[in-house]
Structure formats: C-alpha cells, structure tokens
Amino acid sequence: MNGILCMNKPQEFTSFDVIGKLRGILHIKRLGHTGTLDPMATGVLPVLVGTAAKACDIMPCQDKIYRAGVRFGCTSDTLDIWGNEFCEYPDMYVTEQALREIIPAFTGEIEQLPPMYSAVSVGGKRLYELARKGIETERPVRKARVYSIELESFCEEKQEASLLVSCGKGTYIRTLLDDMGKALGGGAVMTSLCRTMASGFDISECYTFEEVKWAVDNGSIENLLIPTERLFDAYPKLHLNDVQTRMYRNGVKLDLGRIHNIIPDKSDYTVYSCDGAFIGTAKADFEHSELRCGKNFEER
C-alpha cells in the first residue's frame, strides 16, 4: 500500500490526529503528511502512505489555495473566532471598494509575524505552548509569497467577506487577514478556512474517514491511492535501460552522457525502470557529468 491518500480534513482534527486515525483504519504505521492544518481548518490534507512517506522533505510543489472567511471590526488572541480574548472596533466600517483597494498590497512577497498560536519554535518552545501559558514572546518576521487574492463575496451589513488566497509554503492566512484588518483601520478575525488545493492535489480528489473505512472493508483501498510519482509531475522523466536500472537501484552514479533526455538547465528528474515503472528521483551533476540517485520509492 504505497501512494498518496488525499483526505478532506474535518474540523477539530489536527493533522497529527488525521494520521493517528488513519493508522487505525489502514493498519499501517508508515504515514506522513505534506503540511499542517489548524484544527479549525478543513480541506485538502495529502497523506503519504508507505514508501511515499519518503517524499515529505523533497516535494517540489508546496503551493496552497485557501478559501477564507473574515469578519472585520474585531480581533482575538488566536486571530480567529475560536479565540478567547476579543477586541472590538465599533467605529470600524469597511466597504467593498476599500477592501479591493488594499488587496494588491498583500500580494507578492510579503512579511508576516507568525501568530502566537502557531507551531513555530522559538528558543526550543512551540509558540502555542507559550501562548497557552499567557506568555507572549518576540518572534522573527518571516517572508511569505501570496500569488493572488480574489474577493469572492462581501456583505457590507455583516462586515464579512470570503477570500480565495493562492500562496506558497508557510503563509499564515490568519495573520494575512489580521494584517488586512489593520490596514483598513481596525482589526479582522478569521471565521472559516478551507484548503481547496495543496501540493497540486484538489479537494475533489479527497476522501472522508468514512469513505476510507468503507474502501478498507471492501478491499478496494488501493483504488483511492494516487501514485507517488504524481508528487513529481514538474520533473522531467528519464527512462533507463536494463543495465542503468540495476545500477540506479544499487545507488551507483550514472554517466550523464549515456542518459537520454537530459535537459541542460534542469537538475531534478524522475527515474523510470527499463520496464516503465517509476523508481524514484535523481539529480544531474553537470560539473562531474553524473546522474546521482535521489530517493528510491520502490517497495523492498
């Protein structure tokens, strides 16, 4: 059982909770995920099953798309409606035009201060551990990339909006909305969050725990798994001959001059055996004219 199982994470589950529950359903320990989701959030959580778990630290695509609900005129200690300490801005009034005018300032490369209720480590402690003790500490500003923000809906009466945010790895949507609220003269709080795409996987490809359990009980769980090679769709493909296949499997560096389809400006590749099966990844070392083995995803 190897590949990607895309889960539609329910609310109140952490990403670790999802892994734990799946271990019980699938009866397999070797599972990993491609990026955490807050308990409040729902949506796409790709789970790496079996040998696919090797890809956790080498995935080329880690972009995300989120649908976020936001309410203007208040803030909380967690920057979302699950918070305990709220601050109201009774004089704040946002119009659709004003919201649209500030959106461009929050696209491109931006700087974010990680929220206290986050898994970022400072001084060996997770920020959320400190926050739960009422401790607020200095934390380093981080750079994030936001590709686009689309205003899907806006209710002026309720002072609420729905935004579709396309961004890179490590972007805090709660912080983004909070910063937008500040730019509009007050504050904002996240009311909902659904990740609709992660690492190239769409929410339409996701399953619930009930659907996974049904597939296991009916012996069709493999039908739900996406092949591991899908993680590396952005890489050019190399097809090895019989001798090269054996050498790669043994970790032997290959002569670049004997490999077909090497692209001069591309260093990362997916590798296929002489019979067309996906084996793993490789990196081209042009200085030494060698193809170095990356990670082998075959079951051994």
The residue assigned the tokens 């599972």 is: 31
Q: Which residue has the higher pLDDT, 6 or 129?
A: 6
Distance CA 191, CA 207 (A): 24
Q: Look at residue 205 and tell me whether its pLDDT is greater than 90.
A: yes
pLDDT band with cut points at 50, 70 and 90 for residue 222: very high
Q: What is the pLDDT of residue 30?
A: 93
Q: What is the pLDDT of residue 85?
A: 77
pLDDT band with cut points at 50, 70 and 90 for residue 127: low
Distance CA 60, CA 145 (A): 16
Q: What is the mean pLDDT of the chain?
A: 91
First and final CA of the chain: distance in angstroms?
A: 12
Q: What is the pLDDT of residue 134?
A: 57
Average pLDDT over residues 150-171: 96
- For residue 193, how many C-alpha atoms fall within 13 Å in the half-sphere facing its CB? 25
Report field, pTM of the whole predicted structure over 0.85: yes
209-217 vs 15-26: helix crossing angle, rounded to 10: 10
pLDDT band with cut points at 50, 70 and 90 for residue 139: low
Strands 142-155 and 108-112: antiparallel
| pLDDT tens, residue by residue, 244-280 | 999 999 999 999 999 999 999 899 999 999 999 999 9
CA torsion sign for 215, 221, 223, 227 is positive
DSSP 22-44: HHHHHT---EEESS---TT-EEE
Average pLDDT over residues 32-53: 91
Q: What is the pLDDT of residue 113?
A: 81
Q: What is the pLDDT of residue 181?
A: 97
Q: Which residue has the higher pLDDT, 261 or 114?
A: 261
Q: What is the pLDDT of residue 201?
A: 96
Strands 254-255 and 278-285: unpaired
Strands 290-296 and 254-255: antiparallel
Which uninterrupted H or E stretch holds 96?
Answer: helix 96-102
Among 16-25, 93-102, 125-134, 158-167, which stretch is predicted with the lowest mean pLDDT?
A: 125-134
Task: For each of the domains in the chain, give its residue range(s) and CATH number, in order of start.
Answer: 3-59+200-228 (3.30.2350.10), 64-198 (3.30.2350.10), 235-296 (2.30.130.10)
Answer for the pair 215, 221: CB distance below 8 angstroms, yes or no.
yes
Q: What is the pLDDT of residue 36?
A: 81
Q: What is the pLDDT of residue 276?
A: 94
Q: Which residue has the higher pLDDT, 137 or 69?
A: 69
Residue type, 265: D
Residues designated catalytic: 38
Average pLDDT over residues 193-198: 97
